[in-house]
Amino acid sequence: MDLHQNTVEQANLITTIDEKLIVVNDKTYAQSLIITKNSLLEIDINSIADLSDEHIKQLLVSNPEIVILGSGVNHEFPAVELLNPIALKNIGFEVMNNQSAARTYNILIAEERKAACLLLI
């Protein structure tokens, strides 16, 4: 799926996402990512079942106001215990499939909101 172009400058924006790849600022990734406006981290997990406390900590490094978990092609919710650190910091979070997560992330960044997004490939 191709996403519409956005004019937010110097921000990591997702331009394409499908079940095998993610394109951020014209660079293609075939691995899961944690992405914020100013950082991008490739991570070695392939399913929501592989999500760990360490991944949640990495999502929180940028002190986001909202965390988006893209669970892949299908919507799949992680273990509730993993989300406790997010809830305890009163950070909003959403879990959705990757296409919805990418669109939501781009909108939040365009609104200059502090968002962190995990996308699973």
pLDDT at 6 over 60: no
Tell me which architecture the domain covering 14-119 has in CATH. Answer: 3-Layer(aba) Sandwich (3.40)
State the amino acid at position 87 in one-letter form.
A
The residue ranges of every structural domain in the chain are 14-119
Residues 116, 36 contacting (CB under 8 angstroms): yes
What pLDDT is stored for residue 112 in this prediction? 97
67, two tokens: 């965390």
**Distance between CA 105 and CA 115 in Å, rounded?**
7
What is the overall mean pLDDT for the chain? 93
| 62 token code pair | 């940028």
pLDDT in tens, 65-104: 999 999 999 999 999 999 999 999 999 999 999 999 999 9
Q: Return the pLDDT at 61.
A: 96
